[in-house]
Amino acid sequence: MLVLSRRSHESIRIGDTIVVTVLEVRGDHVRLGIDAPHDIEVHRQEVYEAIQSANVSAASPAPAAVAAAASTLRQLMGTNAADPAAAATPDAESESEG
């Protein structure tokens, strides 16, 4: 971790496009201004962690939802769904009829 000391109205640069400026220091509070391109997301740490948690939750369906979807697919596919090999192997008679 790089540790820098800056006074009010002094800045640091991150790469060519991001500027962080100390706007105000009052007691143990520091106000920062961050100038970054629109395609770079800037969040407070707690907001970032909440977004990540929400993304993980959205990408992880509940086991009951997965079971319900699997049951529906089995019903739609008929009896061959219980035997994946039978569902993947074409019926020899239907090939010769075509």
Residue boundaries of the structural domains of the chain? 1-38
Alpha-carbon separation of residue 77 from 39, 69, 92 (angstroms)? 44, 12, 19
Give the residue with greater pLDDT, 8 vs 90. 8
- pLDDT tens string 10-58: 999 999 999 999 999 999 999 999 999 999 999 999 999 999 999 988 8
pLDDT at 51: 94
pLDDT over 90, % of the chain: 59
**What is the three-class DSSP state of 35?**
strand
Cα separation of 79 and 3, whole Å? 65
Cα separation of 64 and 36, whole Å? 43
Please state the rounded mean pLDDT for residues 3-12: 96
